[in-house]
Amino acid sequence: MKEHHRILYYNLLTASKLNSYLADVDRQAEKLFSRLIKQMAEREGVTETIKAQNQMMWISAMNNIWNQVTETINANIIYN
């Protein structure tokens, strides 16, 4: 933020609102992350049944989902 949104950064910093702004962004990112993980797992059929039957397949699928969601969160919330 300091490098890419300097004016906003310094405005928030001088108004003593930077920490609350960053905490709000963090909360938004965590909520979206949880929701997207759940939605993508359901859409791709990654269930607890698969986890019980083939743990390595489940881990691989969840890692792929986790990486996709992380990229989405970073692009749309963190680095926006």
pLDDT of residue 18: 94
* Per-residue confidence (pLDDT) for residue 20, from 0 to 100: 96
pLDDT of amino acid 80 = 77
Annotate 32-74 with DSSP letters as a single string: HHHHHHHHHHHHTT--HHHHHH-HHHHHHHHHHHHHHHHHHHI
pLDDT at 49 over 80: yes
Of residues 75 and 2, more confidently modeled: 75
Write the burial class of residue 52 (CB in 10 Å: 0-12 exposed, 13-18 middle, 19+ buried). exposed
| 21-31 residue pLDDT tens | 999 999 999 99
Segments making up each domain of the chain, as ranges: 6-78
pLDDT at 38 over 90: yes
